Amino acid sequence: MPAETHELRAGKLFSVQDYVCVVTGGGTGIGLMAAQALAANGAKVYITGRRAEVLEKASKWHDPNGGTGSIIASVTTDVTSKDDLEKLVDYISSKEKHVDLLITAAGISGPKAEPDTKDAKDLKAKLWDNESFEDWNKTMTTDVSAVYFTTVAFLPLLQAGSNVKGHLTASVIVISSMSGIMRHAQGHFSYNAAKGGTVHLTKLMSAEFQKAKIRVNSIAPGYFPSEMTTNESGKDNKSEIPDEKIQEKGHVPAGRPGEDEEMAMAVLFLARNNYVNGEILAIDGGVLNVVGGR
């Protein structure tokens, strides 16, 4: 049906009023940015992670006081544990009859070893000695396998959300990375390989789960401030990256890190646009225009 002009207001188009959302890794970084964006626009957002104190702090600092949305610290969850994921689903099921949006933001960076020498013997030594099968397995398990099993665990609640709205609407947003698209290793072979797996997993799940009326898309962030990128956060669970640090990299046309508002726009777009399924939305400040990808 053609829309009346007044129906195209941003507040109407991107409202998530009364949505029920779950965000893994929601206590810090991009997960917290997503939780804030949703709660600010009327959603009830359950955040989870491994550290109870981090979840409680995030809820205390960033709950939109006076608004209709909320950020709720749920049970702690190790996303690499099926038992923990089932406990999380049971907890959400005890509070809600459905879920409209799942965001899988939990992840780790993995080992780092710079391939910055032309001598093959030196190259082997740097990569062989600084990485292990155990490191790779942990990165793959957290950044790829856990995304899959988290999504699978929530399928019934997500389908219930679609049935409530009556059309393809409940969805999953997978937080991948521009690192999963580019060909530059950045010294993070395991992380970039894992994020490449996450990107393709998004496409697989989007195709297979649409029969259950569940959309799956991914946000591939560039340099956004988080504990993963800065190794720290403040009393409000927020991190900062000086513009100069980004400019030193020499491959970021925007010349600065991404901002909370920019991540919020992407989250709301993918949460609300029912005609988007299986897409990877890069928010990278132009990096992939400079560094080879895909």
pLDDT reading at 168 higher than 70: no
Amino acid in the structure at residue 250: G
Could you tell me if 249 and 285 are in contact, meaning their C-beta atoms sit under 8 angstroms apart? no
Q: Identify the pLDDT of residue 63.
A: 84
**pLDDT tens digits for 121-148?**
999 999 999 999 999 999 999 999 999 9
The answer to whether residue 191 is catalytic is yes
Catalytic residue among 46, 162, 190, 195: 195
Catalytic residue among 171, 191, 213, 226: 191
The span from the CA of 55 to the CA of 1, in Å, is 43
pLDDT reading at 229 higher than 80: no
Domain ranges of the chain: 5-289
Q: Identify the pLDDT of residue 167.
A: 60
- Tokens 């779950």 locate to 22
**pLDDT tens digits for 181-196?**
999 888 889 999 999 9
Catalytic residue among 59, 162, 171, 176: 176
User: If you average pLDDT over every residue of the chain, what do you get?
Assistant: 93
Amino acid in the structure at residue 220: A
* CA 217 from centre of chain: 10
The span from the CA of 65 to the CA of 76, in Å, is 23
Q: Identify the pLDDT of residue 228.
A: 74
Least trusted range by pLDDT, from 49-58, 75-84, 137-146, 235-244:
235-244
The span from the CA of 25 to the CA of 114, in Å, is 27
Please give the model's pTM, rounded to 2 decimal places. 0.94
- Tokens 């894992």 locate to 194
State the architecture of 5-289 in CATH terms: 3-Layer(aba) Sandwich (3.40)
